[in-house]
Amino acid sequence: MWNNEALVNAVRFIVLVLVQVILLNNINLFGYVNPYLYVLFIIVYPFSGNKSLLIGLAFVLGLSIDIFSDSGGIHAAACSFLAYVRPAFLKVSFGVSYEYNMVKISTAAIGERLTYISLMVFTHHLILFSLEIFNFNHILLILKSTLFSGIFSVVLIFCTILLFSRRS
Amino acid sequence: MQQIIFFFIRNKNFLLFLLLFTISIFLTVNSHSFHSNKVATSANFFSGGIYSIKENVRDYFNLRTQNNLLVEENNRLRELLSNAGSDMRTADIDSTNVLWNYDFVAARVINNSYSKTKNNLTIDKGSNDSLAIDMGVISSKGVVGIVNSVSANYATVQSVLNTNSQINAKLKNTNDFGTLKWQTGSPYIVTLIDIPRQVQFQLGDTIVTDGKSTIFPEGILIGSIADYKLANNQDYYELSIELFNNMTNIGHVYVIENKAAPEIMELENAVEDVE
């Protein structure tokens, strides 16, 4: 059934990929800091939605970014891992019974929301940069990239959620 | 049997994740080696098309700098032409001249990255314009990279700024050669390793391509020596080379086809087989 929820997710998917590859991959703040806004798709995917479907979608999302940026499969790996561990992060941030309490990202308390977004973003970035650099001699570079890109992404994702949650 | 089916149903998320994660890791490892059939590259109809549209818009903001670059290059070529004078006219007759071994294809860069550790460019010419893997790519100022995948209308180029890149280079004055690598960090600096300790050089000396490989002709500009230090084993120098090219702003490039490459490769492979 092609209902409203699915349509919103499909549009969000396409818009996020295009914004990421055309705009955000070219920011290069201080020479190497890029935000990865497309993680937003996995973050705001309905909390009670189908988990297997999310893992599949996250993989396709990451692979699309990989195709555009010629990076092999690093985004796909980071995204599918993120989709798999998301339920655990939800439990940590919003409490064990998040599924029955009908928690929504746009209505949750600021602190809980920030914990959840940070956990997701930093996990994603750590895997992403480890796989991209793929060398333990450069572990400082991995941590530095994760930290700076992570802060940038968290701020951007937080602002985007604030901006688009007015309507509801 | 029922136990096994239940196991699969119970762990279906984990198994799905494991499968997709394995595929991604495989793709990642695959992209780290140069000579492998790459599956996911931006040299395809879809992403190439989107990048072309993007670049059509972005082009306008760079017109002035790109024009200046072209005028500079015209100027340089005119100087060469007028200085060469009569030599050039006799070259017309001698069709076996080594210069005619190379074909140049002009292309436009439609996507460029320089902030990652493995950077690639996408250009708007592909196998329809007789591009193939392993061809060299230069700009008016110097070396840019090597073609690493092609589709019908697009190709991706492994940039000099890629930790997998290894390019043969030499000192212009003394002909001592080494390998050009990138140690990540600044997009303006690359490193030339394996220069023997007894070699004489000065800061500011020019580095050019070596011509021993079939990818680049001899004498394509690369950069100038900005700094040097001895490698860990004290026998070789590691030279920091400042690129002549500004890799952060590349507009038009030339792809070099070496017509003698297939013959040379065949010969070298034959020798290896005998050994």
DSSP B113-155: --SSSEEEEEES--GGGT--TT-EEE-SSSEEEEEEEE-SS-E
Encoded tokens for B163: 């930790």
Taking the CA of residue A142 and the nearest CA in chain B, the distance in Å comes to 10
Does A132 lie at the interface with B, CB-CB under 8 angstroms? yes
**Distance between B189 CA and the closest CA of chain A, angstroms:** 13
Q: Taking the CB of residue B36, how many other CB atoms lie within 10 A of it? A: 12
Separation in Å, CA B244 to CA A106, B37, B71, B206, B224: 50, 32, 16, 10, 7
Q: Decide if A84 touches B, using CB distance below 8 A.
A: yes
Residues of chain A contacting B31 with CB distance shorter than 8 Å: 70-73
| Chain-chain contact of A70 with B42 (C-beta, under 8 angstroms) | yes
Domains of chain B: 102-275 (2.40.10.340)
What confidence tier does B34 reach under pLDDT thresholds 50, 70, 90?
Answer: low
**B19 near A CB under 8 A:** no
Q: Hey, where are the domains in chain A? A: 4-164
Average pLDDT estimate for B155-177 = 90
pTM assigned to the model: 0.82
Q: CB-CB: which of A22, A68, A81 is closest to B21? A: A81
Q: Which of B204-208, B266-270, B271-275 has the lowest average pLDDT?
A: B271-275
Q: Which residues of B touch A56 (CB under 8 A)?
A: 16, 20
pLDDT above 90 covers a percentage of chain A that reads 48
Task: Tell me how far apart the alpha carbons of residues A107 and A165 are, in angstroms, rounded to a whole number.
Answer: 9
Strand partners, B103: B257
Q: Does residue B37 have a pLDDT over 70?
A: no
Confidence of residue B87 (pLDDT cuts 50, 70, 90): low
Nearest partner of B33 among B145, B165, B121, B146, judged by Cα: B165
State percent of chain A over pLDDT 70.
96
Q: How far apart, in whole angstroms, are the C-alpha atoms of residue A104 and residue A100? A: 11
Contact B116 A71 (CB under 8 A): yes
CA of A70 to nearest chain B CA: how many angstroms apart?
Answer: 5
To test the contact with chain B by mutation, choose from A15, A17, A51, A70 the residue with the greatest count of B C-beta atoms within 10 A, namely A70
Nearest CA in chain B to A55: B17
Q: Could you read off the pLDDT of A47-94 as tens digits, one per residue?
A: 888 889 999 999 999 999 998 988 888 999 999 999 999 999 998 888
A31 pLDDT higher than 80: no
ipTM entry: 0.86
